[in-house]
Structure 1
Amino acid sequence: MKNSNSNSNNHREADPKKESTLTSLDSRFNQTLRNVQGLLKGRSFPGKVLLTRRSDPLDNSSLQERSPNNERSFSDNDIGASEHMDKSVEEDVQSTSTPDDNATVNKLKSSFSNIENTSKEVQKSTMGARATDSARVMKFTKELSGSTVILETLRELAWSGVPPYMRPTIWRLLLGYAPPNSDRREGVLRRKRIEYLDCVSQYYDIPDTERSDDEINMLRQIAVDCPRTVPDVSFFQQVQVQKSLERILYTWAIRHPASGYVQGINDLLTPFLVVLLSEYLKGSVENWSILDLSPEQISDVEADCYWCLSKLLDGMHDHYTFAQPGIQRLVFKLKELVRRIDEPVSRHMEEQGLEFLQFAFRWFNCLLIREIPFNLVTRLWDTYLAEGDALPDFLVYIFASFLLTWSDKLQKLDFQEMVMFLQHLPTQNWTHQELEMVLSRAFMWHTMFNSCPSHLAS
């Protein structure tokens, strides 16, 4: 009996510790849940936090060496926004909880924990600084210096931005155009460039008498669209640049007869042209001249652009076939996701009779190139290309985050005002910081919803 009593006492003494541990875990999880629920209800994002796909810890030694003017951890205000949440958020969570919600919470608990841990990382105020900090550059350099590049590691690094001077090499690798094995890389690129020249000679450098009527009409449409490509960047108005665009687009269209040329593909070519030309032309794009390059250099860039565009579109081919069913499917998913995340703005748009196809079709068709300043496009495409085959589905989350940037504004507009607003979004003064916030929210919503597709069921 004595031993039994002793065991009973020990059991009772252990209970408070166990309860304390459980209480602490529940408290931390509930705090994260309140933060996320607050965001889903349209509240401001807590702190200037960049949620990235990287899992590696920051180098503390490098942080100590950096100037506080260029980088900071959370300020008092940031912490206040994150830790001292309004009581109304907690009340909202408690009042709107349902058994189904609780089941979903259990499924997503590990995802929320990852979000909570990631959100505590020290972040830079702009992506431009983050992409070029010494610790990240060293990781890219180490990965590229090996005999074989581990693409999954490279994707993890590239998702948060690529140093500009490394983009040509890294984009070729991410797209699968250049092989991961460094010994084979030069030979493969040389062979593919010769193959492109053969295609141009066979399909483009021929008289119109050898083309069908459809091919003549397609070439004329491309010739009309090329001067309209990124009209606010003078570099693209140079005659030789437009001829390069024309050759690439026509050759691609002839070799992909299922889709042919579709307006909007010309926009998708421009990030590749700028990035791959940056190996030869330095400084601002506005000051570039294509005439500074030799014919051989222009030919190599054209070939690389052609193959990179081909690799990109291989993963979303039904976006550009007849009736563009791939885009229509993603627009429907976008509508459902917005309804789940921000029901008030979704309901308002529906009441006003605004269809998502009326504005989002162009977003998917041109991948937001026409919606944001061109100097931010290459940063956005770092994330696009890092997503690989998963890009089409991830676009839905990026575009939902992009749209809901103006949630409060949209709810105050009628149909005509919304149409005008969405066609001329006020992004002309955006910096890397605004773009990073869009990507941060997209990453979090993807983490939450992608593993629970029933949330997006009609």
Structure 2
Amino acid sequence: MRSKESDQTKEGSPSIVDSRFTQTLRNVQGLLKGRSFPGKVLITRLSGQLDESSIPPPAYLRSFSDSDVGPIELDNTFEDGFQSRSNSNASSSSSKMRTLSNTEAMSDQVQKSTMGARAIDSARLMKFTKELSTTTVILERLRELAWSGVPHQIRPKVWRLLLGYAPPNSDRRDGILRRKRQEYLDCAAQYYDISDMDRTDEEISMLHQIAVDCPRTVPDVAFFQQAEVQKSLERILYTWAIRHPASGYVQGINDLATPFLVVFLSEYLEGNVDGWSVADLPPSTISDVEADCYWCLSKLLDGMQDHYTFAQPGIQRLVFKLKELVRRIDERVSTHMEEQGLEFLQFAFRWFNCLLIREIPFHLVTRLWDTYIAEGDALPDFLVYISASFLLTWSDELLKLDFPEMVMFLQHLPTQSWSHIELEMVLSRAYMWHTMFNNSPSHLVN
């Protein structure tokens, strides 16, 4: 660990651009390190420690998703308890009693923490329920709540509303959903459920590519290897591609359909997704789920059409912005990557193409997508900040790697053991940097 003197010396060096701003980043990162952090926080450009004036009142803070409570962290008292327990064979009778006391204290604390989390979860669910119970849902209020995570019980309903698939007016909602679901069935019958004799060569080729990609979709989750699931995924993707000829099917869109499939099936299947089977669901239910997936996927992609048109210019634009943002936030990492000849396009293109689905454990994806969907039309720009936060999670590691090592590292990032805590850290930093930079584009020039 570096001493304070060495840090101060480094901060005083003229080679550090805008040292006050760098210090502010360090102060906030210190707050973030090793703990959860309450969602969106406004940051002021000060050289000293953050004070209360830099944090908005509670009404403007986005709290964590209480339905996605991460592991409970034990403090030093409990660590000491475990240490004494491990040495119990060499301890006296009195030390055994102390160990027992520590263990009991730990058990009580964990129980209290769990009970507290459940109480918070219940209160948060009540907030969502209150917003959803009105005759006309106020989408901005719902968006504000959803940014920090949606309780799984109501996630399907919230996603439909925020994506504009279901109308805010409850009196019209069921009728519109019935009509849209029937419209999807008609489209699938017209475009998918036909013979290859009735397709063009281009359509046959596209359908073949989709059929090849579906078994490769989320290969580490057994649920997606079920034949019925792959058939539904194929039908959704092909129907979408036919109805969006400007882009057609692009590899990566198959990944984007998977969160919708899981969320809308969760209304009919219980437990962990690994234990799900769609074989026993009636065809009408599967059709409704497919329709909801299709329309919500369409709504999501409407806001990023140029990500999937020829040459994918939208993604290339985001990669360029990411490079500039990383250069501004952490010049050491930016310089090291440039010196090693690593281009951002070599790893970030997949991140933006698949919206980071392939980079994190699948059980975290729906939580991440709560934020995506809450961002609405602003999502493409916010993706740059999420990706910067994601990349700089490993800034220290990257500085030690040469070109081939960095390529391998960034293609196989060590996120397998991630919990919601790590994801919330990424989102908190992303919002912090978005607040600092997004309204000050001059920061990203020179």
Q: TM-score, normalised by structure 2?
A: 0.79
Alignment partner for residue 48 of structure 1, among 35, 44, 48? 35
Is 2:345 aligned against 1:357? yes
Q: Distance in 1 between matches of 2:40 and 2:173?
A: 27
Tell me, which stretches of 5 or more residues in structure 1 are unaligned? Answer: 1-31, 56-103
Classify 1:422/1:185 alpha carbon distance in 2 versus 1 (closer, same or farther; 3 Å): same
Classify 1:111/1:454 alpha carbon distance in 2 versus 1 (closer, same or farther; 3 Å): farther
Say if 1:128 and 1:432, in contact at 8 Å, map to a contact too.
Answer: yes
Deviation larger for 44-53 or 388-397: 44-53
Say if 2:192 and 2:238, in contact at 8 Å, map to a contact too.
Answer: yes
Alignment partner for residue 194 of structure 2, among 206, 209, 214? 206
Say if 2:181 and 2:288, in contact at 8 Å, map to a contact too.
Answer: yes
Is 2:278 aligned against 1:338? no
Say if 2:361 and 2:418, in contact at 8 Å, map to a contact too.
Answer: yes
Aligned to 2:316: 328
Equivalence map 1:252-401=2 (5 Å): 252-401=240-389
SS at match of 1:291: coil
Aligned to 1:424: 412
Equivalence map 1:1-400=2 (5 Å): 36-38=24-26, 45=32, 48-53=35-40, 105=45, 113-115=53-55, 128-129=68-69, 133-400=121-388
Aligned to 2:433: 445
Say if 2:38 and 2:64, in contact at 8 Å, map to a contact too.
Answer: no
Classify 1:218/1:123 alpha carbon distance in 2 versus 1 (closer, same or farther; 3 Å): closer
Q: Distance in 2 between matches of 1:390 and 1:313?
A: 13
SS at match of 1:133: helix
- Residues 178-226 of structure 1, C-alpha deviation per residue, up to 9 Å, x if partnerless? 0000000000000000000110111111111111110000000000000
Q: Distance in 2 between matches of 1:137 and 1:114?
A: 29
Q: Distance in 2 between matches of 1:141 and 1:120?
A: 19
SS at match of 1:164: coil
Q: Distance in 2 between matches of 1:263 and 1:333?
A: 23
Q: Give, as a single letter, the amino acid of the residue that structure 2 aligns with 1:394.
A: F
Q: Give, as a single letter, the amino acid of the residue that structure 1 aligns with 2:376.
A: G
Superposition deviation, residue 137 in structure 1: 1.0
- Residues 8-48 of structure 1, C-alpha deviation per residue, up to 9 Å, x if partnerless? xxxxxxxxxxxxxxxxxxxxxxxx978623258x7673562
- Residues 108-137 of structure 1, C-alpha deviation per residue, up to 9 Å, x if partnerless? xx9994547669989779871379612211
Classify 1:390/1:322 alpha carbon distance in 2 versus 1 (closer, same or farther; 3 Å): same
Classify 1:123/1:326 alpha carbon distance in 2 versus 1 (closer, same or farther; 3 Å): closer
SS at match of 1:209: helix
- Residues 96-117 of structure 1, C-alpha deviation per residue, up to 9 Å, x if partnerless? xxxxxxxx949xxx99945476
SS at match of 2:171: helix
Q: Distance in 2 between matches of 1:181 and 1:122?
A: 25
Q: Distance in 1 between matches of 2:345 and 2:53?
A: 35
Q: Distance in 2 between matches of 1:112 and 1:389?
A: 31
Classify 1:437/1:335 alpha carbon distance in 2 versus 1 (closer, same or farther; 3 Å): same
Aligned to 1:93: none
Q: Distance in 2 between matches of 1:259 and 1:161?
A: 31
Q: Give, as a single letter, the amino acid of the residue that structure 2 aligns with 1:337.
A: L
- Whichever of the two has the greater Rg, that structure is 1
CA RMSD of aligned residues (A): 2.7
Q: Distance in 2 between matches of 1:112 and 1:209?
A: 69
Classify 1:159/1:388 alpha carbon distance in 2 versus 1 (closer, same or farther; 3 Å): same
Classify 1:44/1:420 alpha carbon distance in 2 versus 1 (closer, same or farther; 3 Å): farther
Say if 2:149 and 2:371, in contact at 8 Å, map to a contact too.
Answer: yes
Say if 1:345 and 1:410, in contact at 8 Å, map to a contact too.
Answer: yes
Q: Give, as a single letter, the amino acid of the residue that structure 1 aligns with 2:301.
A: L
Classify 1:396/1:199 alpha carbon distance in 2 versus 1 (closer, same or farther; 3 Å): same
Q: Give, as a single letter, the amino acid of the residue that structure 1 aligns with 2:149.
A: G
Classify 1:295/1:45 alpha carbon distance in 2 versus 1 (closer, same or farther; 3 Å): same
Q: Give, as a single letter, the amino acid of the residue that structure 2 aligns with 1:302.
A: E
Tell me, which stretches of 5 or more residues in structure 2 are unaligned? Answer: 1-19, 70-116
Is 2:422 aligned against 1:434? yes
Classify 1:422/1:166 alpha carbon distance in 2 versus 1 (closer, same or farther; 3 Å): same
Q: Distance in 1 between matches of 2:264 and 2:319?
A: 31
- Residues 251-287 of structure 1, C-alpha deviation per residue, up to 9 Å, x if partnerless? 0000000000000000000000000000000111111
Q: Give, as a single letter, the amino acid of the residue that structure 1 aligns with 2:195.
A: P
Q: Distance in 1 between matches of 2:434 and 2:134?
A: 32
Q: Distance in 2 between matches of 1:162 and 1:125?
A: 6
Q: Distance in 1 between matches of 2:424 and 2:330?
A: 20
Identical amino acids, percent of aligned pairs: 74
Q: Distance in 1 between matches of 2:313 and 2:65?
A: 39
Classify 1:340/1:411 alpha carbon distance in 2 versus 1 (closer, same or farther; 3 Å): same
Say if 1:177 and 1:311, in contact at 8 Å, map to a contact too.
Answer: yes
Classify 1:170/1:127 alpha carbon distance in 2 versus 1 (closer, same or farther; 3 Å): closer
Superposition deviation, residue 457 in structure 1: 2.8
Q: Distance in 1 between matches of 2:394 and 2:274?
A: 30
Q: Give, as a single letter, the amino acid of the residue that structure 1 aligns with 2:423.
A: L
Aligned to 2:402: 414
Q: Distance in 1 between matches of 2:61 and 2:372?
A: 23
Classify 1:255/1:39 alpha carbon distance in 2 versus 1 (closer, same or farther; 3 Å): farther
- Residues 129-177 of structure 1, C-alpha deviation per residue, up to 9 Å, x if partnerless? 3796122111101000000000000010000100001100000001000
Say if 2:221 and 2:274, in contact at 8 Å, map to a contact too.
Answer: yes
Q: Distance in 2 between matches of 1:182 and 1:412?
A: 56
